[in-house]
Amino acid sequence: MVFFHVDMDAFYASVEQLDFPEYRGKPVIVGGLPEDRRSVVSTCSYEARAFGVHSAMPVVKAYSLCPHGIFLHGRMGRYREKSREIMNVLCDFSPDVQQISIDEAFIDMTGTERLFGPAESTARRLKQQVKNKTGLTISVGIASTKYLAKIASGMSKPDGLHYVPSGKETEFMQELPLHKVWGIGEKTLARLNESGIYTTKDVFSRSEALLSSLFGSSTGAFLYRAVRGLETETFNETAKSRSISSEETFLFDLEDPYAIDTELLQLSEEVLFRLLAEGWTSKTVHVKIRYEDFTTVSIQETLPRHIATAEDIYERAKQLFYRKWQTGRGVRLLGVGALNLEPALTPRQTELFDFGDGKKQRIEKAVLNIRRKNPESVITKARLLQKAQEREKRRISENGTDKDRN
C-alpha cells in the first residue's frame, strides 16, 4: 500500500498572504484583532511562529509576543473555496481521496506507480501542481499506512516532503520523539512519563499486556502498534465509527436564522460530497450545536429512507436544528453528520429512485464531477445565492411589501 497525506502549510494565513501580497513575508495571525478580548488564534504564518505564536493561543497573548503582527479575522468562505480547489487537484492523482479536515487529505496511491512513476517524484509533481493551480504550498508524507503518512507530512513543514520507505516503518517510529506520535496527547504523555516511559523505544520495549494493564486495552493496543509502524485503528475502514460529519466553529456567534441556515447548507453539502466520494449512504442525520458558553447539545434522527441529496441532508438537519435550538442563543459551533453509514449501491439504495430522487442524485453526482474538474465554488455560490433570493422573496411576501407597493 502507498498513501500520501497532504497538509496545507499555515493554511488560513497562507490564503491571506496569497490574496494580499502586502502580507507576504510578514507575521500574519488569523483569528481576531488584538482588541477582541476572547478570540483565539486559528493559525498564523511561519513568520509569526518564529515569535512563539501558535494555534489555539489567545489573541491577546499573541499580540504580546508579536505586537507588529498583522491580525485578521478569518474568511471561512474563502478558505473553503481554496480547500476545494486543492482537493480538486488531488483528485487528478487518484480516485481515492479522503478529505479529513479543511486542509488535509489522504490519497491512496497504491498501484499508481505504473501510471505515474515512483511515489516520491509523483509527490513532487503533486506539490508543484497544487502550487501552480492554487498558489499555495503543501507538505506531503508518503508511507505504507495512513497513520505513518500523517506523521510524515508533519516532519518537514512547510513545503515539505517526507518519505518513509517500505520496510523502514519501525525505524522511523523509533526515532520519533514521543510527543510527535500522533494520538498521544498531553494526558497520555504525562501518564507515560509517570510510568518511566520517555521515548518510543521505551514503549517498544514494553509488552502489549503491560501497556494494556497500564493504559487500558484500546490505548495499550494503539501504543503497541503505533511504535511498530503498524496501521492503527485510527483510519481503518473496519474501526471507522462509520459516520461522516462536518463542523464549523464560527469567529462570531451566530444568532440569525439565515446565517445559520446558510451554514447548515454548506455543512450538508460537505457531508454529501464525502458520502458520494467515499461511497456511503445513511438514514441517520445528526446535528451538533455548541453555544457561546461551550455547552454542547446534539440531536439525531433516523428516517426510513436513505439520504439521497444535499438538500435532503439539509432539510433534515434544519428540522433537527430548530427542534433543538434555544431560539436566539448564540451558536459558536455547528456540526452536521451522517451516522451508521452503509455502503452505497446496495440493492436497498434503489429505493431512492422510487421517491423520485434519482434525477436529483444524478445532478449531485454530476456536480461532484464538475467540482472535481473545475473550481466548484461557482456552483456552491450559485446555490447559496439562490437561497438568498428565495429568502428575500419570502421576507417581502411575509412583510406584505408587495401588496403595499401595488
Catalytic residue positions, numbered:
104
Interaction between residue 106 and ligand TTP (CB under 6 A): no
User: Residue from 2, 4, 5, 12 that binds ligand TTP (CB under 6 A)?
Assistant: 12
Return the range that interacts with ligand TTP (CB under 6 A); candidates 5-13, 124-132, 178-186, 377-385: 5-13
Interaction between residue 133 and ligand TTP (CB under 6 A): no
Interaction between residue 6 and Mg ion (CB under 5 A): no
User: Residue from 2, 3, 5, 11 that binds ligand TTP (CB under 6 A)?
Assistant: 11
Interaction between residue 138 and Mg ion (CB under 5 A): no
Directed axis angle between helix 76-91 and helix 377-399, to 10°? 140
User: How far is 39 from 252, CA to CA, in rounded Å?
Assistant: 9
User: How far is 142 from 120, CA to CA, in rounded Å?
Assistant: 8
CB of 15 to ligand TTP, least distance (A): 8
How many degrees, rounded to 5, is the angle at CA 65 between CA 60 and CA 71? Answer: 55
Return the range that interacts with ligand TTP (CB under 6 A); candidates 4-12, 179-187, 210-218, 386-394: 4-12
In sequence order, what DSSP letters do the residues of 179-222 get, joined into one string?
Answer: GGSTT--HHHHHHHHHTT--SHHHHHTS-HHHHHHHH-HHHHHH
Interaction between residue 44 and Mg ion (CB under 5 A): no
DSSP 306: -
Residue 402, all three cell numbers: 408587495
Interaction between residue 90 and Mg ion (CB under 5 A): no
Return the range that interacts with ligand TTP (CB under 6 A); candidates 2-10, 125-133, 299-307, 338-346: 2-10
CB of 7 to Mg ion, least distance (A): 4
Asked whether the beta carbons of 108 and 1 are under 8 A apart, the reply is yes
Interaction between residue 8 and Mg ion (CB under 5 A): yes
Interaction between residue 158 and ligand TTP (CB under 6 A): yes
Interaction between residue 270 and ligand TTP (CB under 6 A): no
Return the range that interacts with ligand TTP (CB under 6 A); candidates 7-15, 177-185, 198-206, 359-367: 7-15
Quick count: other Cβ atoms within 10 Å of Cβ 366?
A: 10
Spatial CB neighbours of 37, under 8 Å, sequence gap ≥ 6? 60
CB of 39 to ligand TTP, least distance (A): 11
Q: What are phi and psi of 140, to 5 degrees?
A: -125, 135
Site string for ligand TTP, 26-45 (x = CB under 6 A): ----------------xx--
Binding partner selected for residue 224 from ligand TTP, Mg ion, none, CB under the kind-specific 5 to 8 Å limit: none
Interaction between residue 103 and Mg ion (CB under 5 A): yes
Quick count: other Cβ atoms within 10 Å of Cβ 100?
A: 14
Complex with Mg ion: residue 7 or 357, whichever CB lies closer: 7
- Residue keyed to cell 504550498: 137
Name the H helices within 300-400.
310-324, 351-354, 358-373, 377-399
Residue 255, all three cell numbers: 444568532
Interaction between residue 137 and ligand TTP (CB under 6 A): no
Directed axis angle between helix 208-215 and helix 217-226, to 10°? 140
Asked whether the beta carbons of 27 and 44 are under 8 A apart, the reply is yes
Binding partner selected for residue 58 from ligand TTP, Mg ion, none, CB under the kind-specific 5 to 8 Å limit: none
Interaction between residue 56 and ligand TTP (CB under 6 A): yes
Contact residues toward Mg ion (CB under 5 A) are: 7-8, 11, 103
Contact residues toward ligand TTP (CB under 6 A) are: 7-12, 42-43, 55-56, 102-103, 157-158
